[in-house]
Amino acid sequence: MKKLTKKQMSVEHIEAVYKTLPDFCFFKQDGVSNAGKIEKGDKQFTPMNLTREQADNLNFQLGVTREVEQAMLTGSMFGWHVPGIDPQIYSE
């Protein structure tokens, strides 16, 4: 994860980023059995039996990148008000 700038930590930036996230996406955490569907704004996920490949294929159909998936997972775990919902911080 990249180091955050002051702008990326601002409330205004986080609110703007939140508006750009998709309504939902699918995820599969590497190394653990957690997988499912994340809905924007929810602090939980709907468990599903997905492989990494299945999650990637479903997200591809939605236009969701791995960076967006990670941002959505962060939002569902830590809240939708944190800088970690910005997909740009996960790009290399």
How far is 38 from 25, CA to CA, in rounded Å?
Answer: 5
What pLDDT score was predicted for residue 52? 94
How far is 62 from 56, CA to CA, in rounded Å?
Answer: 10
Q: Model's pTM, two decimal places? A: 0.87
Query: Is residue 86 predicted with pLDDT exceeding 80?
Result: yes
